[in-house]
């Protein structure tokens, strides 16, 4: 294996005199918030282009929405049920940290990002900032595009507080005077339709030398009084409520999971309220009124210094244009390369795979070979069957269109569609219905388990025999995210790998036992147990004084059993490096307990998504193994999902994974953060390289 960054502390094989107790693990929700702090820190980096800094602010908003919709909702439910170990102190601690993070986010947005953009001529104009010509244009926009879609509701016994959808934009107003019927109903609600743009660019002639934008909230605020003729708007605020958005479907009792989920989608937007956002200037009486309407405590109120939904500022990023003078406002465009030397464009992919496996490293290498692999299978008359799992593929997908075409051509098409892929349920249901309409066999996995494995299997007639070809992946079959996420795709005709893939599909369709896997590790059956055994094997080697090394690159580490195994292996003398993008509850660097464990997180231009597992328990070549996987080290992945991990047996490909997915990340000094024993993170110090930048340079054209 290539040289990896050494750990400080005792060397492998050092036998501790006393086996120390296991340390207390970190709080998972706190670890998620700490990850978002690392993302937010990207918005403060001078070496990140300004529009990309704004994008990181938006990403944090999106992440925090999901945190409340899913993670905090589960956390709160665990506290209410009791017996889960979640105390009131834990609840208050997490809520307080969420408040601090969001306050910091708005401070960075207002005090750092927007002033820097303004210096480059990109401005957001409030009503007070707009000149007379700009105000006239905004007024015309309001009258033509906005006013006809707004229906204010004055509250009284026959007009109760309206149903407010999750994350929708709304206004609350306190009104003076009397309504058309002579009554003094003082509170009104204005719901803002989602179809209206949240960011509007002014015509260039109205802002010479600038790129000027106005926010929809500012437009409505400037004209709020016009919605209530004859009355005075005495006080007002934007507001937004975040709700529990996890779809709860009793899979045991329902007879049609697809129909049950489609029904659930209609009510998802009106789950239990969890967070209320208002602007900082919102009068206390209005915020208290809203808290009462949503049944929320004071701690659930977030008074923000700006728009209540920063994620919508992605619309500004999309509309802004780069200028020829001045610094670049976006990352330099990257076009993923086609692996021409290993997979010639003009060659049949099947013919290449008969000679060797092909490994693709996204987004540095193109996802297009995967699409081409499927399209070649669709067009090939000798291909008899195509099977694929679908988790997140998007509402537009060339792969799904290819599968539909394959079914139309009479090929046997089986698609395992995971209907419970959170926030992708509707897109997956639509694809499932389209596939069924052309005769494809569609199954929805196993009751109680999500199908998260990424598999594409092609069966082809070659002479008098059938031969299988497969694509295995650490990431989703989504060409758009393949340009933004780091992942490994593996094209192969290896009989063990393709045979195991066939066994998984048979299992998912028939729900019967399969033969033992020859190469795959599969959750919920063997994956967790085998990883635990490999950790134990490394620990045994450490106790014997042999080379003992574990390197895992994953997105999350929260499984208690595996964490305890890692800690014991480190105490036995194994050297352990963990590259964990998101939540990690293992506290590294505790003297006498976890001092041989180092945990780092890399947050850069691309979202780290690759899962690579490396174990070494001796000095011989056969004393190491490397797996690629669809699974993170979380209990849900190990026991409540269909996941796979597969070995990279080819020595050259294994070394390539080590050289590209492990070594650069262990040496990263630009985008890396080091997890501390208390759960906070410190940026790696030093002038060293960025792993992602090094890979971009490695795969640059020419």
Mean of the per-residue pLDDT values of the chain: 91
**CATH 3.30.870.10 residue window(s) in the chain:** 349-519, 523-698
Q: Collapsing DSSP states into helix, strand and coil, what is residue 211?
A: strand
177 pLDDT more than 90? no
Name the β-bridge partners of 171. Answer: 190, 238
> Which of 209-223, 242-256, 318-332, 537-551 has the lowest average pLDDT?
242-256
218 pLDDT more than 60? yes
Name the β-bridge partners of 579. Answer: 553, 600
Residue 1, pLDDT score: 46
pLDDT band at residue 76, thresholds of 50, 70 and 90? confident
Give the chain's largest Cα–Cα span. 90
The model's pLDDT over 561-616, given as tens digits with 9 standing for 90+, comes to 999 999 999 999 999 999 999 999 999 999 999 999 999 999 999 999 999 999 99
Q: Tokens 């009131």, residue?
A: 88
422 pLDDT more than 80? no
Rounded to an integer, the average pLDDT of 296-303 is 93
Q: Which of 61-75, 170-184, 321-335 has the highest mean pLDDT?
A: 61-75
Rounded to an integer, the average pLDDT of 220-241 is 94
Which CATH superfamily groups domain 349-519?
Answer: Endonuclease Chain A (3.30.870.10)
The model's pLDDT over 647-677, given as tens digits with 9 standing for 90+, comes to 999 999 999 999 999 999 999 999 999 999 9
pLDDT band at residue 189, thresholds of 50, 70 and 90? very high
**CATH 3.30.1840.10 residue window(s) in the chain:** 45-319
Separation of alpha carbons 210 and 205, rounded Å: 9
> Which of 119-133, 150-164, 395-409 has the lowest average pLDDT?
150-164
254 pLDDT more than 60? no
pTM score, whole prediction? 0.92
Separation of alpha carbons 258 and 419, rounded Å: 7
Name the β-bridge partners of 550. Answer: 576, 615
Separation of alpha carbons 570 and 551, rounded Å: 12
Rounded to an integer, the average pLDDT of 100-116 is 98
As a whole-number percent, the residues of the chain with pLDDT over 90 amount to: 78
> Which of 116-130, 188-202, 318-332 has the lowest average pLDDT?
318-332
Q: Collapsing DSSP states into helix, strand and coil, what is residue 200?
A: strand
Within 8 A by CB and 6+ apart from 381, the residues are: none
> How many Cβ atoms from other residues are within 10 Å of residue 407's Cβ?
23
> Which of 371-385, 461-475, 684-698 has the lowest average pLDDT?
684-698
Residue 159, pLDDT score: 84
Catalytic-labelled residue, pool 452, 471, 528, 609: 452
Instruction: Identify whether 99 is a catalytic site residue.
Output: no
Separation of alpha carbons 395 and 401, rounded Å: 11
Name the β-bridge partners of 465. Answer: 462
Classify domain 45-319 at the CATH topology level. polyphosphate kinase like (3.30.1840)
Residue 265, pLDDT score: 58
Question: What is the assigned CATH class of domain 523-698?
Answer: alpha beta
Q: Collapsing DSSP states into helix, strand and coil, what is residue 666?
A: helix
pLDDT band at residue 256, thresholds of 50, 70 and 90? low
Q: Do the Cβ atoms of 214 and 130 come closer than 8 Å? A: yes
* Token representation of residue 677: 């024993």
């Amino acid at each position: 294996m290539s040289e990896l960054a050494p750990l400080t502390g005792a060397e492998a094989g050092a036998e501790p005199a006393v086996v120390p107790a296991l340390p207390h693990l970190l709080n998972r929700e706190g670890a998620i918030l700490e990850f978002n702090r690392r993302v937010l820190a990207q918005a403060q980096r001078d070496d990140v282009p300004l529009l990309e800094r704004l994008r990181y602010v938006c990403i944090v908003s999106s992440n925090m929405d999901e945190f409340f919709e899913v993670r905090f909702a589960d956390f709160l439910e665990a506290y209410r049920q009791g017996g889960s170990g979640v105390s009131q102190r834990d609840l208050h601690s997490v809520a307080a940290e969420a408040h601090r993070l969001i306050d910091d986010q708005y401070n960075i947005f207002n005090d750092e990002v927007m002033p820097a953009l303004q210096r480059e001529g990109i401005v957001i104009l409030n009503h007070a900032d707009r000149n007379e010509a700009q105000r006239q244009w905004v007024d015309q926009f309001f009258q033509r595009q906005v006013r006809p879609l707004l229906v204010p509701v004055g509250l009284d016994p026959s007009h109760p507080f309206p149903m407010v959808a999750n994350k929708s934009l709304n206004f609350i107003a306190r009104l003076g005077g009397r309504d058309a019927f002579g009554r003094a109903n003082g509170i009104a609600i204005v719901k803002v339709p989602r179809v209206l743009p949240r960011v509007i660019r002014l015509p260039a002639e109205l802002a010479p030398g600038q790129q000027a934008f106005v926010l929809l909230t500012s437009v409505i605020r400037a004209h709020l009084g016009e919605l209530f003729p004859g009355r005075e708007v005495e006080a007002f605020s934007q507001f937004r409520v975040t709700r529990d958005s996890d779809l709860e479907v009793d899979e045991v009792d329902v007879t049609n999971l697809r129909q049950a989920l489609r029904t659930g989608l209609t009510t998802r937007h009106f789950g239990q309220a969890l967070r209320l956002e208002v602007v900082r200037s919102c009068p206390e009486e209005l915020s208290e009124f809203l808290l009462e309407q949503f049944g929320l405590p004071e701690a659930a109120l977030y008074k923000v210094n700006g728009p209540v939904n920063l994620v919508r500022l992605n619309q500004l990023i999309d509309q802004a244009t780069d200028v020829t003078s001045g610094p670049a406002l976006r990352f330099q465009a990257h076009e993923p390369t086609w692996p021409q030397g290993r997979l010639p464009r003009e060659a049949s992919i099947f013919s290449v795979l008969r000679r060797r496996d092909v490994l693709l490293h996204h987004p540095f290498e193109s996802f297009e070979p995967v699409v081409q692999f499927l399209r070649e299978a669709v067009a090939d008359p000798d291909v008899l069957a195509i099977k694929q799992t679908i988790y997140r593929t998007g509402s537009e997908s060339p792969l799904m269109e290819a599968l539909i075409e394959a079914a139309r051509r009479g090929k046997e098409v089986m698609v395992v569609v995971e209907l419970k892929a959170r926030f992708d349920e509707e897109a997956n249901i639509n694809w499932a219905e389209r596939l069924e309409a052309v005769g494809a066999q569609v199954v929805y996995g196993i009751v109680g388990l999500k199908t998260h494995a990424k598999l594409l299997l092609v069966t082809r007639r070659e002479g008098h025999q059938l031969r299988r070809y497969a694509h295995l992946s650490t990431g989703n079959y989504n060409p758009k995210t393949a340009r933004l996420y780091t992942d490994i795709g593996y094209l192969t005709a290896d009989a063990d790998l393709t045979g195991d893939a066939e066994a998984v599909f048979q299992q998912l369709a028939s729900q019967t036992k399969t033969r033992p896997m020859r190469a795959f590790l599969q959750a919920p059956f063997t994956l967790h147990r085998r990883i635990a055994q490999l950790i134990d094997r490394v620990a045994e080697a450490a106790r014997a004084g042999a080379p003992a090394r574990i390197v895992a690159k994953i997105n999350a580490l929260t499984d208690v059993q595996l964490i305890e195994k890692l800690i014991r292996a480190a105490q036995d003398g194994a050297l352990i490096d963990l590259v964990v993008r998101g939540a990690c509850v293992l506290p590294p660097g505790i003297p006498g307990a976890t001092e041989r464990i180092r945990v780092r997180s890399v947050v850069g231009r691309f979202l780290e998504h690759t899962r690579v597992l490396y174990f070494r328990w001796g000095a011989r070549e056969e004393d190491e193994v490397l797996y690629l996987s669809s699974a993170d080290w979380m209990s849900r992945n190990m026991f409540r999902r269909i996941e796979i991990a597969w070995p990279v047996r080819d020595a050259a490909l294994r070394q390539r994974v080590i050289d590209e997915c492990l070594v650069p990340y262990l040496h990263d000094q630009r985008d890396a953060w080091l997890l501390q024993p208390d759960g906070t993170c410190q940026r790696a110090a030093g002038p060293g390289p960025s792993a992602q930048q090094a890979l971009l340079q490695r795969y640059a054209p020419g």
